[in-house]
Amino acid sequence: MLKKTLIGVLFVALLSTLLITGVNFNVTKAVDYGSSGTQVGGIIWENTTWTLENSPYIITETVQIPEGVMLTIEPGVTVTSTGVRDMFLLHGKIQAHGTVENKIIFNGGGNSIFFNVKQSKGNAFLDLDYCVIKDGVVFWHPTGYGGYGYFSLRHSEIIHVGGISYVYYPENNIYIEYNKFINSGYFSVGISNNVKVYIRYNIFLGGAHIDNWASYKEAKMIVKYNSFINLKGVVLELPSCYDSAAMSATENYWGTQDTDIIDSMIYDKKDDITCAGFIEYLPILAKPHPDTPTLPINQKINMGWNLIGLPLIPEDPSIEAVLSDILPFVESVWTFDGETKTWSSYSPGAPSDLTEMVLGRGYWIKMTEDATLTIHGRSTDEEGIEVEFFPGWNLIGLPTIPDDPSIEVVLSDILPFVESVWTYDGGTKEWSSYSPGAPSDLTEMCCGKGYWLKMNEDVTWTFEYS
């Protein structure tokens, strides 16, 4: 809390010194520095910046941001709650732009509401990019007092935030894009005039419920290019007895092509004639959209030799970044160039000519013990992935999850040029193989494994997003 302990000349002298030296005096008006972070609470009357140097920021009472005031939060800052009901009461603006490497973390401590906009006007704005919002009650507080603020939530992770975010007639567009929602994707929306709510390019895992109870005039709610994974119950809804409710939900990935299953996750006029209409969800995506985030994929790597491919385009392709989880157990990594017929290798702590790992290549990894490799990245780019083959042996990794994993279907475009395919199981230490027209014990190909292919001529294998 702000303590007024300086008076008269001393106060004037101190203020002059702060201004001359460039110190942001506004920060001190909302914080009380502690020995293990910066305690914050109360009203911020002037534009303020929370810096990485003074992180973590510990909220001891609701931080209130009046109209016309902006709070800027630097990349890498952590904001935690001590159990206050509302972490922020927002009538002004919060800008929290992290980076891929330095996300801003909001930790609700399991019992706090993150952003309350009660009685706010239409210019109250929350701007979040590359943030982690976790362990709280509600992201955007449902309130009976009105609250016309709006927000942009992008490239962020929302984890274990189980309450419903109630969007009440915002006066500007809302963007919820490129996020990962884990047990957290709950939004109830009412909009009017020409306002749009875009819920796009998100992945929802373990829990989600999105409904629209009002879309007056030209307002639109667009739910598109999302991935709904391992969800139960109703995911999209037009509640009964709300005659202006509407939602568009085409081109999402549901983890299934079975429309009966998808219908069971949508509640609209097919289920209740008092609903305003139908949620159009066709066409559906056969695979996650390439711009939608993916969750990390865990891959078991066994002691001894393993033949793998990457299941994702890694966020950082440097070999030490890709293998960071298992690096203490890696003896060496090898790959083979089918064009030059040469090997390249990596050994921790030794000069190496293998510096990156990429989607579409196969890799031999020798381990000192079993470990789990966690790979962070995204699926194939929209323009697709091309794998070049050359006469003789080629070492590849399957760059996408096939709709049908049977080997002849996977290889159908290049099958006339294939002499044989071999792979190695690091768990059983056994080889399996396939040769066209001959008895084979290799019947399927899967993403994440490595394969030797012997080809009889040059060919390009293109994996297009569909």
| Confidence at residue 380, expressed as pLDDT on a 0 to 100 scale | 56
Dihedral (CA of 205, 206, 207, 210) sign: positive
pLDDT-above-90 percentage for the chain = 73
pLDDT digits (tens, 9 = 90+) for 427-445: 999 999 999 999 999 999 9
CA atoms within 13 A on the CB side of 6: 8
Average pLDDT, the chain: 88
Long-range contacts of 424-432 (CB under 8 A, 24+ apart): 424/305, 424/306, 424/307, 424/450, 426/301, 426/302, 426/304, 426/305, 426/306, 426/307, 426/308, 427/300, 427/302, 429/304, 429/305
**382: pLDDT confidence band, cut at 50, 70 and 90?**
very low
Cα–Cα distance, 442 to 66 (Å, whole number):
66
SS3 content of the chain, % helix, strand, coil (to 5): 10, 45, 50
Residue type, 450: G
| Residues above pLDDT 70, as percent of the chain | 89
Residue 155 predicted with pLDDT over 70: yes
Residues whose CB falls within 8 Å of the CB of residue 7, separated by 6 or more in sequence, listed in order: none
pLDDT tier for residue 19 given thresholds of 50, 70 and 90:
very low
The one-letter code for the residue type at 412 is S
Phi, psi of 102 (to 5 degrees): -130, 80
Q: Would you list the domain boundaries of the chain?
A: 8-172, 297-463
Residues β-bridged to residue 299: 373
The reported pLDDT for the residue numbered 294 is 79
Instruction: Tell me the pTM.
Output: 0.68
Q: CA-CA distance, 323 to 451, in Å (whole number)?
A: 20
The pLDDT of 150-170, averaged and rounded, is: 94
Output the pLDDT for position 14.
33
Predicted local confidence at residue 162, as pLDDT: 85
Question: Dihedral of CA 256/231/198/244: which sign?
Answer: positive
Residue 450 CA to residue 391 CA, distance in Å, equals: 18
Residue 464: pLDDT band with limits 50, 70, 90: low
Q: Averaged over 13-30, what is the pLDDT?
A: 37
Q: How far apart are CA 13 and CA 21, in angstroms?
A: 12
Please state the rounded mean pLDDT for residues 383-392: 84
Can you say whether the dihedral through the CA atoms of 50, 55, 132, 110 is positive or negative? negative
| The pLDDT of residue 143 | 62
